[in-house]
Structure 1
Amino acid sequence: MAAKPMPENLPEPIINPNADVVLTRRYLNKDEAGNPNETIKELFWRVASTIAAEEAKYETSEYDTETLSRDFYDLMTGYWFLPNSPTLMNAGTRLGQLAACFVLPVEDSIEGIFDAVKHAAMIHKSGGGTGFSFSRLRPADAVVGSTGGVASGPLSFLRIFNCATEQIKQGGTRRGANMGILRVDHPDIMEFIKAKERDGELNNFNLSVALTEKFMQAVENNEEYNLVAPNTGTVTGTLNAREVFSILVRKAWESGDPGIVFLDRINRDNPTPEQGEMESTNPCGEQPLLPYEACNLGSINLGLCYKPDDNGGTVDYDRLKEVVHLSTRFLDNVIDASQYPLEQITEHVHKNRKIGLGVMGWADLLYRLGIPYDSQKAADLGETVMKFIRDEARSASKQLAKERGPFTAYEDSVFGKANLGPYRNATTTTIAPTGTLSIIAGCSSGVEPLFALSFVRNVMDGDRLMESNPYFADALKEAGAYSEKLMEEVAKGASIQTMEHLPEDIRRVFVTAMDIAPMWHLKMQAAFQKYTDNAVSKTVNLPNEATQEEIWDIYWKAYEYGCKGVTVYRDGCKQLQVLCTGDGEEKKESEGQNGNAPRGIVKDRPDVIYGFTQKVETGLGDLYLTVNEVNNRPFEVFATIGKSGRSITAKAEAIGRLVSLALRSGVDVRDIVAQLKGIGGDNPKFIKKKMVQSIPDAIAWVFENRYLKGETVGSGVTSLSREVCPDCGEVLIFEEGCHICKSCGFSKCG
């Protein structure tokens, strides 16, 4: 359904600089040349009016479409609520596919497998992500009765799905994301657990092992458990449960993959068990679904739900109630407005009408309330807030059922059998990733803590802009502790926990992801899970020095706390390269004694590339440094030095090649400068009030002056294990199951 003409008196939305970049690059409709053919204001009106137009189908509605269009517009442009990305991109367009999450079955036949590949391609093309369970597939080397051949097993087909995904971008804007799940009792489970040992393997998939309670009990008792062939139901062997669990922990420590989901817990919360068991989730794990189901998601900005009072403020539950009810109506209308890519999906979606209303801005709300994230008070408040949201979302769903009727499968659902409804929607709440949505809204992501209180963002022409959390800046100013120098130190990665000159209450409240003990991450996830119909997207962040024992404890506590799954991420672990010998024995590339060799993927060189050449006087002669750039950032360097002999020339060329390799592998300019700056030589030379000590020191001087704009970088070893955004060059952070760029909105799952 096309959007209605925009009213003349519609207010302009207030757009923060990051949101402007993200919306322009990734959300505005484009013409055939790739240029935007709508404004950001027109985008929000397109979405609001298209979703509100569905109201006309229901004569008993208390809203008219004109009023509701304006209410939806104000809801989104006030950043109280935003729907998932496909709704923002596709509502009111010819594509019209508005859901983010899909699960497809993978049947144990060639026809069924390649139907799933085809259907996944159609979903990715429309802007959605897909989840699959490969648990129905017979194990490798099993006999195929129809041909007398031998089966190749789930992993071989998983690679086919991955390759197909590589060729398709979601809605033409981003590569498709997938979840691959295998039951822990599948005979090929060990191969699955180790599937992403090699860097770059299955790069379009997140992987999770489906753990059963029977398996967890076997872990606790250090017992063997059975491996069962799904095609025959026969036991093919046994494994020691504790050993398998240990390997899962080790793989999570090494690379974060695979994650785990608790299958029995998921199915206990299945609202429609008569339709079958849930066997998979969407790509980030927060949305368990039946085969051929889809769910559309949206998130409320809790950071705005603050009401000041004489005691430091409280949650504005009155406003939160209004937002929940309006957002629930919005998401139910999205179901009617969406054009699903398969008839089977349309049928299942309309049968159960699942929606997933979640939150973002949780860390911001805690900052405003003066409550530390890593405290029982915060966890208790999270439980209270989420219970309120779920209760009000269900209340709104009951109101919609009165106007429109309950979901078709209501009578056979757990609600119908317990006389708890009727409800319009089989589920109402999900805590989904909000990486790009939170950039648009200018708030913290999901229920995650803030990753940094202050950071420097690249803008046009190589300039860098300091950005800080507004609540942190306000608290410093109120305490008389604010300074630009302090904010610069924080932006460089300094933790305020070590700054004893700051007031203790500020240091206690303004904690960030890496300040927080892992168990508090998990406690917060469990607090929100308690009153969430579906699941919670949350990453348990760990420092690089975290041990496997700590991850074991997190996994076990997640099971005890009632979580439906858990994702851990040890800082820098994605950069470790794990090799396998021909006999399957694992070895790590070693560096020193820790066995951790940071590694990036080397980018290909474009056919045409432009740059500059700078002359630098050194004690060995004039150095001519050519620096070629991509997107205003250095990509490769060539260092030549005249009349200094073959040995010096060779050294200059070698340094240039190594610096180029580092740049093309994603190493940050600051890290290169820190490594090269201050390296001494036999013939130092003063130039422009600076002593150039050597060829590497000269390269550092050029880089520092051109790209760091006066920012001082000390010499010495820094972390080289940060992944950078391929679009804008900013550092990627890992949260909610994906790498996300907070500057331009790029995200990468898998």
Structure 2
Amino acid sequence: MKPAFSQSARDILRDRYLWRDENRNPIEKPEEMLRRVATHVAGAERTLPLQYKWADEFYEIMAKLLFMPNSPTLMNAGRPSPHGQLAACFVVGVEDSMDSICEALRKQMLIHKSGGGTGFNFSKLRSEGAKVNSTNGRASGPVSFMGLFDKATETVQQGGMRRGANMGILNIDHPDIRKFIHCKDKDGTITNFNISVGVSDSFMKKAEENPCGDEAALLAEIADSAWRTGDPGIIFLDAINRGNTTPELGELTATNPCGESPLYPNEACNLGSINLSLLVRDGEFDYETLRGVAAVAARFLDDVIEINDYPLPEISQAVKQTRKIGLGVMGWADLLFRLRVPYDSEEALALAENIMRTIRETACETSVELGREKGVPETLAHLGRRNATLTCIAPTGTIALLAGCSSGIEPLFALEHTRVRTQIDGKKVVMKQVNRCYEEARKEGLDEETMKKVFVTSHDISPAAHVRMQGSFQKYTDLAVSKTINLRHECGVKDVIGAYTLAWKEGCKGITIYRDGSKQSQVLYTKEDEEKALEKSAQENARIEKKEKNALPPSAAKPRFVLKRSY
């Protein structure tokens, strides 16, 4: 069967995913890409009959757009060593010594080169101005060293297309926490990092119980910065460790760049997402098909662990010790549209829990079966399954575009919007899009009251409803949930503090807020802002064209394959 990609998806595949020759011309078709991925991943199976069987199963769920793995898997599966790195999420440890900092920098650069993103917790680094006994000097502090990692990211492009991404975390009790909170106050500073403050339950309790205390003031300072700039986010460290299935290996303190994968140093996690928008039968949610897709997808992700060509041996060792996989969802907003269920309703919250519970239970059954087939690592014997984690909800920006559905568990940004996409040559393409479910409902003549209630967008939904939805999915998610709490421009700092407190109480493992218009550049624009997006993209394209006039010819110094990477 041929894959059900739309023309827009095929354009994205051409620009970013299909293998290319030395002249940057595609040398495979979208269906050949999926067959390449399915066949390579199924190579982890023990016998040829099983490899053929599972290659067909893997191809089918991708070709039907029911499941998509993360971007590195689509791009790199089947590439010869050392280019076949298939995971997106990594964490690198940083200790308080120059040797450790340099080693972390080396690992970051190799991971970015391979197509992955990195996360760090810098809390072990001594504060700015602290004495360094070995040199009798003074320490630069974690924020200064973050700048070094940021600059390294500028110079290492993933597959020749774009720079990598990072997460920087600093715990709330670090002496330099205020400098960290404000390190991205100006646009253009530390541009390749998302940043989050690691907070404890005790800090949140004190902030709530004493509105005039130091903790409440510091929480308000975090909220004010996030209100103005979108940074920092918050990581709830105790919630992360309550959900840690391997506490004997230590505490979890860091996550991948988007915050959905809390991992140990040197660990990686490969992710994939089920397209919920296609799972509607006769007006009801199709749990039977969900179970079938989840079982095949969980096996796919476990097989990726075996055939992945990790950038460092210590990463391979750490990954195979815990075998963490992250099966999640996308197309949630589209599903609710098709079922005529409002996003901010109790019915939607209950459906979220039921769906995620079903995915987790199915993935667990698959993991147990795999453990019997292939043997369970000794460190996971107490879990009774093969994989330390099974579920995770990622942002799914580009793979949702490939699947033709809404991103992750987010509500739609707008029913009609303009998206700015970067092509392989760096030029901007402005795409005008209207949600398909919305168009179908209008053609059906759905009554105005139902349209208004069901077809809500991110700014129609209260901050509390955003947070409660994240909490509902988190209940059956082993790792974490990547979600942005989108606020209208007129929302205040108190709304941000309220969202933080509710997220902590709901058991979320982290929270990110973004107030509309708080950054100079955005990926999505409402219909009203379309002219601004067009003008800005035209200016950027003109700048690129001018630069290209003095560039080397396209064939100069190009690798055999030029693969593209997108988070």
Matched, 1:448 2:410: yes
Deviation at 1:376, TM superposition (A): 1.0
Percent identity between the aligned chains?
Answer: 48
Q: 1:216 is aligned with what amino acid?
A: M
Counterpart secondary structure, 1:569: strand
Matched, 1:331 2:301: yes
Is the CA contact 1:374–1:520 (under 8 Å) kept in the aligned structure 2? yes
Counterpart secondary structure, 2:43: helix
Matched, 1:213 2:201: yes
Matched, 1:370 2:231: no
Q: Where does residue 242 of structure 1 map in the other structure?
A: 216
Deviation at 1:409, TM superposition (A): 1.3
Give the TM-score of the pair, scaled to structure 1: 0.68
Q: Where does residue 65 of structure 2 map in the other structure?
A: 79
Q: Where does residue 475 of structure 1 map in the other structure?
A: 441
Deviation at 1:670, TM superposition (A): 2.5
Is the CA contact 1:383–1:527 (under 8 Å) kept in the aligned structure 2? yes
Q: How does 1:523-672 map to 2 (within 5 A)?
A: 523-575=468-520, 670-671=531-532
Matched, 1:121 2:109: yes
Counterpart secondary structure, 1:54: coil
What do the CA deviations read for 1:146-202 (whole angstroms, capped 9, x no partner)? 121111110110000000000111232321000000000011111101101111100
Q: Where does residue 321 of structure 1 map in the other structure?
A: 291
Q: How does 1:253-272 map to 2 (within 5 A)?
A: 253-272=227-246
Deviation at 1:15, TM superposition (A): 2.0
Change over 3 Å in CA distance of 1:726–1:64 after alignment to 2: farther
Q: Distance in 1 between matches of 2:539 and 2:26?
A: 23
Matched, 1:36 2:59: no
Structure 1, 92-101 or 399-408: larger mean CA deviation: 399-408
Is the CA contact 1:87–1:97 (under 8 Å) kept in the aligned structure 2? yes
Q: Distance in 1 between matches of 2:18 and 2:204?
A: 47
Is the CA contact 1:352–1:408 (under 8 Å) kept in the aligned structure 2? no
Q: Distance in 2 between matches of 1:728 and 1:569?
A: 30
Q: How does 1:376-391 map to 2 (within 5 A)?
A: 376-391=346-361
The runs of 5 or more residues in structure 2 that have no matched partner are 523-527, 544-563
Q: Where does residue 688 of structure 1 map in the other structure?
A: none
Q: Distance in 1 between matches of 2:541 and 2:242?
A: 42
Deviation at 1:74, TM superposition (A): 1.0
Q: Distance in 1 between matches of 2:110 and 2:388?
A: 26
Deviation at 1:668, TM superposition (A): 7.0
Counterpart secondary structure, 2:144: helix
Q: Distance in 1 between matches of 2:75 and 2:542?
A: 21
Deviation at 1:143, TM superposition (A): 1.1
Q: Distance in 2 between matches of 1:553 and 1:452?
A: 24
Is the CA contact 1:390–1:531 (under 8 Å) kept in the aligned structure 2? yes
Deviation at 1:407, TM superposition (A): 3.2
Deviation at 1:370, TM superposition (A): 0.8
What do the CA deviations read for 1:33-86 (whole angstroms, capped 9, x no partner)? 2221211111111101000111126x9xxx621121111111101001000000
Alignment RMSD (CA, Å): 2.7
Is the CA contact 1:373–1:511 (under 8 Å) kept in the aligned structure 2? yes
Counterpart secondary structure, 1:567: strand
Deviation at 1:725, TM superposition (A): 11
Q: 2:134 is aligned with what amino acid?
A: S
Q: Where does residue 118 of structure 2 map in the other structure?
A: 130
Matched, 1:304 2:288: no
Q: How does 1:39-438 map to 2 (within 5 A)?
A: 39-56=29-46, 64-94=50-80, 95-222=83-210, 240-308=214-282, 313-411=283-381, 416=382, 421-438=383-400
Deviation at 1:469, TM superposition (A): 2.1
Q: Distance in 2 between matches of 1:159 and 1:456?
A: 33
Is the CA contact 1:45–1:73 (under 8 Å) kept in the aligned structure 2? yes
Change over 3 Å in CA distance of 1:19–1:726 after alignment to 2: farther
Change over 3 Å in CA distance of 1:268–1:141 after alignment to 2: same
Change over 3 Å in CA distance of 1:79–1:149 after alignment to 2: same
Deviation at 1:20, TM superposition (A): 1.2
Change over 3 Å in CA distance of 1:127–1:208 after alignment to 2: same
Change over 3 Å in CA distance of 1:668–1:375 after alignment to 2: closer
Q: Distance in 1 between matches of 2:442 and 2:233?
A: 39
Counterpart secondary structure, 1:432: coil
Is the CA contact 2:428–2:540 (under 8 Å) kept in the aligned structure 1? no
Change over 3 Å in CA distance of 1:723–1:507 after alignment to 2: farther
Is the CA contact 2:88–2:117 (under 8 Å) kept in the aligned structure 1? yes
Matched residue count: 536
Change over 3 Å in CA distance of 1:464–1:353 after alignment to 2: closer
Change over 3 Å in CA distance of 1:249–1:725 after alignment to 2: farther
Counterpart secondary structure, 2:365: helix
Deviation at 1:671, TM superposition (A): 4.5
Deviation at 1:748, TM superposition (A): 8.6
Is the CA contact 1:407–1:423 (under 8 Å) kept in the aligned structure 2? no
Change over 3 Å in CA distance of 1:320–1:425 after alignment to 2: same
Change over 3 Å in CA distance of 1:669–1:379 after alignment to 2: closer
Q: Distance in 1 between matches of 2:404 and 2:415?
A: 13
Q: 1:473 is aligned with what amino acid?
A: E
Is the CA contact 2:91–2:265 (under 8 Å) kept in the aligned structure 1? yes
Q: Distance in 1 between matches of 2:180 and 2:36?
A: 44
Q: Where does residue 561 of structure 2 map in the other structure?
A: none
Q: Distance in 2 between matches of 1:455 and 1:551?
A: 25
What do the CA deviations read for 1:570-599 (whole angstroms, capped 9, x no partner)? 000012xxxxxxxxxxxxxxxxxxxxxxx8
Deviation at 1:293, TM superposition (A): 0.4
Q: Distance in 2 between matches of 1:113 and 1:723?
A: 38
Q: Distance in 1 between matches of 2:458 and 2:501?
A: 21
Q: Distance in 2 between matches of 1:49 and 1:314?
A: 34
Q: 2:472 is aligned with what amino acid?
A: A
Change over 3 Å in CA distance of 1:205–1:47 after alignment to 2: same
Change over 3 Å in CA distance of 1:726–1:208 after alignment to 2: farther
Is the CA contact 1:350–1:408 (under 8 Å) kept in the aligned structure 2? no
Q: Distance in 1 between matches of 2:487 and 2:121?
A: 28
Is the CA contact 2:3–2:62 (under 8 Å) kept in the aligned structure 1? no
Deviation at 1:12, TM superposition (A): 2.3
Q: 1:79 is aligned with what amino acid?
A: L
The runs of 5 or more residues in structure 1 that have no matched partner are 1-10, 225-238, 482-501, 576-598, 601-666, 673-706, 708-719, 730-745
Change over 3 Å in CA distance of 1:346–1:669 after alignment to 2: closer
Is the CA contact 1:262–1:565 (under 8 Å) kept in the aligned structure 2? yes
What do the CA deviations read for 1:528-548 (whole angstroms, capped 9, x no partner)? 001100000101111111111
Deviation at 1:17, TM superposition (A): 2.0
Change over 3 Å in CA distance of 1:39–1:261 after alignment to 2: same
What do the CA deviations read for 1:676-732 (whole angstroms, capped 9, x no partner)? xxxxxxxxxxxxxxxxxxxxxxxxxxxxxxx9xxxxxxxxxxxx9x99996799xxx
